[in-house]
Amino acid sequence: MSNGYQIVVCGSLAPDPLQTLEPVTGPQGPALKNEMMLPMVLDPWAGHALFEAANLAKSQPDSKVWLVSIGPKAKLQQLMMSIAQKVPFQLVAADGPAGGFADSTATAKALAGMIEGIDGLDKSKQLVFGGWASASRGTGTTMQQVGELLGITEQFQGVDQLTIGADGSLEILERIEGGKHQVSKCQSPPALLGWATGNLPEPPNNPQVGMVNMRSVMPALQQAKPANLAAGGATFKSVEIPKQKRETRIVKDAPADEIAKEIVEWIKG
């Protein structure tokens, strides 16, 4: 009997952080201006989860990694051309929005359904990885809901390190308040880990890994079904860029107490 892990990573694309993002109200609700024209990258939080999953699978024989992703098929295909060369994985894709306006509950339901649809997945060996938060779906609640929908009660958020014990137990380093960590232990899978930054650098490109991955990536994209991420009745009255406001006045020889009082009054106002 194999002792390997079956690791499912939830992660999608996000706009390149170097781009200027301008929200607009479209026919389907709020969106980003020229969203389909923006260059996309793998969500940084999801990237940490994927690289940690691949490192764990490499160290544990007979382990396997799936990447479950929701996004526009054309953009996912562009993204896969770059990240497919990083680490081995099998893609499970759905065609849907990737912006930050999707409802986290609807997103969690879609992801949980995709995970449950993976053929031959053994829940007794299942680890679900994802970002603790997200650059585009930054509610911080999506992964928690995915775990609940899958019936996984052993959940760890803000994870920086995972160590496998000699008895197969999981030792997890989680972030807590005050810049500290707590050490948690889990006897065995299934478990869900929401990753923070982890400890691994981004792997270098490996064209051979990319060629192997693309054999499954292209069929997965072609078979991707639409994902309905309706907001469940939530509406947005407006979306706009925060306005910049600057008020400057030059005063000489003002007492420090008077300056502090004026700053406090300005903040309260």
Residue 222 class from Cβ within 10 Å (0-12 exposed, 13-18 middle, 19+ buried)? exposed
More confident site: 130 or 19: 130
Mean pLDDT for 247-263 is 85
Q: Give me the pLDDT at residue 138, please.
A: 62
Q: Which residue(s) pair with 220 in the sheet?
A: none
Question: Stretch 91-117: mean pLDDT, rounded?
Answer: 85
Give me the pLDDT at residue 28, please: 67
**Residue 146: closest CA among 183, 186, 190:** 190
pLDDT at 9: 94
What local confidence, expressed as pLDDT, does residue 102 receive?
76
Domain of residue 61, CATH code:
3.40.50.620
The sign of the CA dihedral 191, 99, 71, 76 is negative
Residue 269 belongs to a domain: no
> Which structural domain, as residue segments, surrounds residue 88?
6-226
Q: Which two tokens stand for residue 95?
A: 């065609």
Within 13 Å of residue 200, how many CA atoms lie on the same side as its CB? Answer: 22
- 225-252 residue pLDDT tens: 888 776 556 666 666 666 777 777 788 8
Domain assignment present for residue 255? The answer is no
Q: What is the pLDDT of residue 234?
A: 62
Is 237 part of a structural domain of the chain? no
Residue 243, pLDDT score: 72
Residue 48 near residue 200, CB atoms below 8 Å: yes
Q: How confident is the model at residue 2 (pLDDT cuts 50, 70, 90)?
A: very low
Domain-embedded: residue 257:
no
* Digit-coded pLDDT (tens) for 30-42: 777 777 777 788 8
Is residue 245 a part of any domain in this protein?
no
Q: Name the pLDDT band for 1 (thresholds 50, 70, 90).
A: very low
Q: Is residue 232 part of a domain?
A: no
Number of domains in the chain: 1
Mean of the per-residue pLDDT values for the chain? 84
Q: Is residue 154's pLDDT more than 90?
A: yes
Q: What is the model's pTM?
A: 0.81
Give the best-scoring range by mean pLDDT among 14-23, 31-40, 132-141, 182-191. Answer: 182-191
Per-residue confidence band for 19, with pLDDT thresholds at 50, 70 and 90: confident
Could you read off the pLDDT of 198-219 as tens digits, one per residue? 788 888 888 899 899 888 889 8
Is residue 266 in some structural domain?
Answer: no
Task: State pLDDT tens for residues 173-203.
Answer: 998 887 888 999 998 889 999 998 878 888 8
In a domain, 82, yes or no: yes
Give 159-177 pLDDT, tens digit per residue: 899 999 888 889 999 988 8
Please state, for a pLDDT cut of 70, what percent of the chain lies above it. 91
Helix (H, G, I), strand (E, B) or coil at 107: helix
Give pLDDT tens digits for 48-57: 999 999 999 9
* Token pair in block for residue 254: 């003002």
